[in-house]
Each structure stands twice: as structure tokens, then as C-alpha cells.
Amino acid sequence: MGKLNVMAQLTPEELQSVKDLQSKYNQTIFEIGVAETQIITLQQQIEKLQKDKKDLVADIDSIGNKETELVKGLQEKYGTGNIDPETGEITPIQ
């Protein structure tokens, strides 16, 4: 290995190589930050969607209970039958 001279200086090509690597390193660090920010944002969106889904499942349960109550009331009033939701006609079940 050569001796280091006090006034040693990189060649323009060597200096450019050092600058290129520093630039690539800084760009990569920046892109890691961008990726992490996107991950955080997506995690927040997933959490919100999971909460929304939980609320919707609870709504389905509530709707099912209301439907059961409505059908029971209609059966008491009209007897057992199939309801045409378009016309409201009830076809008795034999």
C-alpha cells in the first residue's frame, strides 16, 4: 500500500465515485423514510377498515334481529307465508 502524502488528493473520477455513493446512500435513506411513512399510512387505513367491518358485522346482527321480530309479527297477523317484496302480496304456505 502506498504512503499517504500530506497533500494527497483524489482524482476527479475517484472524487465523483465518492460523491455518487454518498448521493445514492442519501437517496436510499430518503426512500426508506418514504416507504415507512407509506407503511404507517396503510396500517392506519387497515385499522380503520377493520373497525368499519366490525361495525358493519354488528349492523348485520342487528338487522337480522329486527328481521326476525318483523317476520314474527307479520306471521302473527297474516299467518305463515312468502312475501313478495315488490308487491307486498303474501302467498300462504300450505
pTM over 0.75: no
Per the structure, the complete domain to which residue 43 belongs is given by: 12-75
Look at the chain and report how many structural domains it folds into: 1
Q: Is residue 4 part of a domain?
A: no
Q: How does pLDDT run along the chain (94 residues), one tens digit per residue?
A: 566 656 889 999 999 999 999 999 999 999 999 999 999 999 999 999 999 999 999 999 999 999 999 999 998 898 888 888 899 898 888 7
Query: What is the DSSP annotation of 30-93?
Result: HHHHHHHHHHHHHHHHHHHHHHHHHHHHHHHHHHHHHHHHHHHHHHHHH-SEEE-TTT--EEE-
Residue 88 in any domain: the answer is: no
Residue 1 lies in a domain: no
Say if 91 falls within a structural domain.
Answer: no
Could you tell me if residue 80 is inside a domain? no
Q: Is residue 17 part of a domain?
A: yes
Q: Is residue 59 part of a domain?
A: yes
